[in-house]
C-alpha cells in the first residue's frame, strides 16, 4: 500500500511541476513583469534559447511565431494567449 501511495505522490508532483512550467517559462520571457511578452522580450528569449541549444537564430521567423501567437493582435502575447497557443515552446 505504501508503495502505491508513493507512486501516486510521484505522479501528482510530476503533474504539478508540469502544470507550473508554462507560467515559469512565461515569466522568463516577461522580463519587465508587465504580464505580457513584447516582441523584444520574445526575441531576447528566442535568441537565448537558440544559443543554449546551439540552433541558428532567425529573427524574421521568431517574429512570425510571435504574430501567430498574438491572438488578439495587440502586439503582445499575454499569458492567456501563450497558454491558448502552444505553451512553453518557441515554435
Q: Which residues bind Ca ion (CB under 5 A)?
A: 30, 32, 34, 70, 72, 74, 76
Q: Which is nearer to Ca ion, 45 or 70 (CB)?
A: 70
C-beta of 14 vs 35, nearer to Ca ion: 35
Element (H, E) at 50: helix 39-53
Look at residue 77 and give its three-state secondary structure.
strand
The residue among 28 and 50 lying less far from Ca ion, judged by its C-beta, is 28
CA 64, 73, 32, 20 torsion-angle sign: negative
Amino acid at each position: 500500500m505504501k508503495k502505491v501511495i508513493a507512486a501516486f505522490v510521484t505522479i501528482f508532483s510530476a503533474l504539478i511541476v508540469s502544470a507550473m512550467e508554462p507560467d515559469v517559462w512565461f515569466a522568463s520571457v516577461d522580463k519587465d513583469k508587465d504580464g505580457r511578452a513584447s516582441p523584444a522580450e520574445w526575441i531576447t528569449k528566442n535568441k537565448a534559447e537558440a544559443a543554449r541549444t546551439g540552433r541558428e537564430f532567425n529573427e524574421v521567423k521568431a517574429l512570425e511565431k510571435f504574430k501567430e501567437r498574438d491572438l488578439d493582435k495587440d502586439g503582445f502575447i499575454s499569458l492567456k494567449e501563450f497558454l491558448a497557443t502552444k505553451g512553453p515552446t518557441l515554435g
